[in-house]
Chain A
């Protein structure tokens, strides 16, 4: 079965540079979530989109922005990178078919290292 695809899988940037992370949800899934997981930490919710509209925002820095496109893929744009942005970034997708069931399926993650 098709899974969530993320690219790139690894990314190395210098401080103050910009980075763009891409996420391709499972086909027919209409909701995308972004999470950040620092070393030894639990994943933290950043932002989510439903049907191409932002649906919720978590602890996402103002330097970050994201959007979901017409083909449902999503991009997380990160500017003025800081050392503390080094983390695993996960994208998850789900299908809002029934409010009583909303399992999120996670992609393999993008490991961002800021030097």
Chain B
């Protein structure tokens, strides 16, 4: 059974600080995704990481993937209040035929304080 673990689950940061969220997964997977979710809202796709060593950056967020270590990181640089949200990593895996269901981590609730 594929397991995805995120840490920390709760993160309170001050504006301007840097921090990293970690995502470990238990078995070989095809792809890793990072999503952002605001309270009661949908899941917004942030990054899709397709191969070992992949690094993607968007604004103050940077994601990387190490498939050998089965580890992805989401690095936050100089946090601002607008980044406050829950961040999920998710892994998909071909479960037969054409299907690629997502298995999510528990999510990291990020609060950025002024």
Contact = CB atoms under 8 A, between A and B. Distances in A.
User: Most chain-A Cβ atoms within 10 A of its Cβ — which of B33, B35, B88, B98?
Assistant: B98
B105 A42 contact: yes
Interface string A92-115: 101010011111111111010000
Interface in B1-36: 30-31, 33, 35
A25 to B, nearest CB: 14
A35 B102 CA distance: 9
Given A31-B98, A45-B101, A103 B45 contact: yes
Interface stretch (A50-58, A68-76, A77-85): A50-58
A66 interface: no
B50 interface: yes
A86 interface: no
A56 B104 contact: no
A43 B43 contact: yes
B101 A42 contact: no
Interface in B59-85: none
A33 B42 contact: no
Interface in A27-68: 31, 33, 35, 41-45, 48, 50, 55-56, 58
Contacts, number: 70
B42 A56 contact: no
B48 to A, nearest CB: 5
Contact of B101 (A33, A96, A108, A111): A33
B104 A94 contact: no
B101 A58 contact: yes
Interface of A: 31, 33, 35, 41-45, 48, 50, 55-56, 58, 88, 90, 92, 94, 96, 99-109, 111
Interface of B: 30-31, 33, 35, 40-45, 48, 50, 88, 92, 94-107
* 5 interchain residue pairs of minimum CB distance: A42-B104, A56-B99, A55-B99, A106-B43, A45-B101
5 contacts: A45-B101, A45-B102, A45-B103, A48-B99, A94-B100
